Amino acid sequence: MSAMPSADTTPSDVRQPEPIPPTRTDPVAPTREDRVAATGSELIGGPLGRRALLGAHWWTPVRIIALVMIGMFALGMVQKFPCYDGGWFFGASAQYTHACYSDIPHLYQGRGFAAGLVPYFDRLPDKMEYLEYPVLTGIFMQVAAWLTPGSGSLQDQQQLYWFANAGMLMVCAVVIAVCVARTHRRRPWDGLLVALAPAFILTSTINWDLFAVALLAAATLMWARGRPFAFGVLLGLATAAKFYPFLLLGPLFLLCWRAGKWRAFGTALWGAAGAWLIVNLPVMVLAPEGWAKFYSFSRERGVDFGSIWLLISQRGDFQIDPQEANNYGIALMVIICLAMIPLVLAAPRRPRFAQLAFLIVAAFILTNKVYSPQYVLWLVPLAVLARPRWRDFLVWQACEVAYFLGIWMYLAYTTSGDAHKGLPPDGYHLAIAAHLLGTLYLCAMVVRDILLPERDVVRRGGDDDPSGGVLDGAPDVFVVGLGRRSEGRTAHAIAGWGPSAAPGSVRSGPEKRSL
């Protein structure tokens, strides 16, 4: 026990608590902290110099990233050109051997847009069914159809429909890159990972997923800016465009539980539910069968390309029916969600929102009964925010590119008849394994950062949770077990700023309850 100061001790003799360092505002240059980024920068002149003037001219990081995204997206469109005049229309295997397949021109006719059918209200004449996409994506498809001239041959219309969609999806891609660049205020250059991601570029115009990804990226930015209602509205719209974004509410619930931010979570929840209902309710009431088609299709769809269930069934030489795949997938997701509870509540430091968002979406992808190549778009912005480490990101991207090439070469093999030109089943199974292992590797790196926060490149730079909004710098009010380890090992100590208490660290006293 330390001695109490005597009555004649002057105030200057009493050790005052060290003040909390102010939040850092200086931008982080990847070429100064990331060896891979520094090596790659040699192509454009080398790492950023010590005396460089940042933000002193018109070419800000966000503007540069937006222009790079436009250029890379254009290259992705060029990659599809071998199919533009031939592969989409003549011969089944040409679009696979050139790896330029896209759903967009095929579904212009196949889903009734060429005939002027109204999604969800009009049945498809050949199948007597309805459009199997969520409502907001159906609206996106319809807007592109309105922009497509109805004159000329069907092939001309399909080509123009793809161009109309590509233009709209390019806007979505720029929104994604800009939102990622602005989410972490001190790390704008992380958005360059999105713009340069090869799997992102190769899959951007396969389907309409970029629309939902852009809405989710904007939602994440709103949460980072401390605007939970705007976050909720955008999350609800993203869920109305694609099913997976609602999953982020689970990790957010756990983080708000640990930080005691119930009002912010409730605001986000009501905003999301309201936005989703505003979009879906009119179609749900006026065309209930058409509205329900997406959900029945998802439930009844069989085990399909890229999933772990396809790998198991083909390697094990037995069939997994759709209901079994649904049950297995749901069971695994429940187990993973339950495992996230102690991970969040007992981690040495409260995990960052982007880390948990990436993990929950990755878990959904890994356990799903289908993995279309464009699903990688769901993960790219979340992966950049969760672990902006160039080496790990590029390792994962290499695995996804291997899968992208593998599925098209496998389809070329199955559609080339007796010639069997392409990748046989065993090779395709290796491509699936590469995708699964690459995603699991990145998940393992993120989990390690959560358990060892000093390894987290974002926090090592001095930040707490720059994408966390109201969670950023908030004290914990509820932790369990191992969460007590962070007492005496505060945020700034981990960041290398000394032993000061810091926002975001777990504190003792009446403000914290632990089990």
User: Is the domain of 494 the same as that of 384?
Assistant: no
Give 8-25 as a DSSP string: T--GGGSPPPPPPPPPP-
Q: In terms of domains, do 470 and 502 share one?
A: no
Question: Can you give the residue range of the structural domain that contains 512?
Answer: 475-515
Q: CB within 8 A of 1, min separation 6: which ones?
A: none
Residues 94 and 79 in one domain: yes
Q: Is residue 150 part of a domain?
A: yes
**Same-domain pairing of 489 and 459:** no
DSSP conformation class of 478:
E
Residues 98 and 81: their CA atoms lie apart, in Å, by: 9
Residue 21 lies in a domain: no
Q: Which residues face 478 on adjacent strands?
A: 513
392 and 484 housed in the same domain? no
Helical (H) or strand (E) element with 335: helix 322-346
Residues 6 or more apart in contact with residue 206 via CB below 8 angstroms: 101, 102, 103, 104, 372, 373, 374
Q: Identify the segments of the chain with pLDDT beneath 70.
A: 1-56, 481-515
Task: Evaluate whether residue 218 is within a structural domain.
Answer: yes
- Write down the pLDDT at residue 498: 33
pLDDT value of residue 23: 47
Does residue 509 share a domain with residue 385? no
Q: What is the pLDDT of residue 6?
A: 38
Residue 168 sits in the same domain as residue 282 = yes
> What span, in angstroms and rounded, lies between the C-alpha atoms of 273 and 260?
21
- Distance separating alpha carbons of residues 388 and 442, to the nearest angstrom: 11
- Tally Cβ neighbours within 10 Å of residue 154: 12
One domain for residues 309 and 392: yes
- Type of residue found at 380: V
Indicate the average pLDDT of the chain: 85
CA–CA distance, 214 with 52 (Å, rounded to integer): 32
| pTM of this structure | 0.86
Same domain, 387 and 451: yes
Task: Please give the span between the terminal C-alpha atoms of the chain, in angstroms, as a whole number.
Answer: 27
490 and 393 assigned to the same domain: no
Are residues 463 and 501 in contact, defined by beta-carbon separation less than 8 angstroms? no
**Domain check: are 410 and 390 in the same one?**
yes
Give per-residue pLDDT as tens, 201-236: 999 999 999 999 999 999 999 999 999 999 999 999
Q: How many angstroms separate the CA atoms of 147 and 137, rounded?
A: 16
Reading the block at residue 278, the tokens are 């505003």
pLDDT tens, residue by residue, 360-382: 999 999 999 999 999 999 999 99
Whether residues 84 and 120 share a domain: the answer is yes
Which residues are CB-contacts of 101 (< 8 A; sequence separation ≥ 6)? 83, 87, 88, 95, 206, 408, 411
Q: Note whether residue 351 is domain-resident.
A: yes
- Give CA separation, 46 vs 36, 37, 52, 186, 374, in Å: 12, 10, 12, 21, 33
Residue indicated by tokens 């999105």: 194
Instruction: Give the whole-angstrom CA distance, residue 5 versus residue 13.
Output: 9
- 497 touches 26 (CB < 8 A): no
Give a three-class secondary structure readout of 151-178: CCCHHHHHHHHHHHHHHHHHHHHHHHHH
The verdict on residue 84 lying in a domain is: yes
What is residue 44's predicted lDDT score, i.e. its pLDDT? 57
Asked if residue 33 belongs to a domain, the reply is no
Domain-located, residue 418: yes
pLDDT for res 224: 96
For 514, phi then psi, to 5°, come to -135, 160
Q: Is residue 165 part of a domain?
A: yes
Q: How many residues does the chain have?
A: 515
| Residue 301 CA: distances (Å) to CA of 78, 111, 260, 297, 446 | 32, 18, 40, 6, 31
How far is it, in rounded angstroms, from Cα 71 to Cα 69?
A: 5
Strand pairing category for 478-479 and 513-514: parallel
pLDDT of residue 150: 83
Per the structure, the count of domains in the chain is 2
Q: What is the per-residue pLDDT for 365?
A: 96
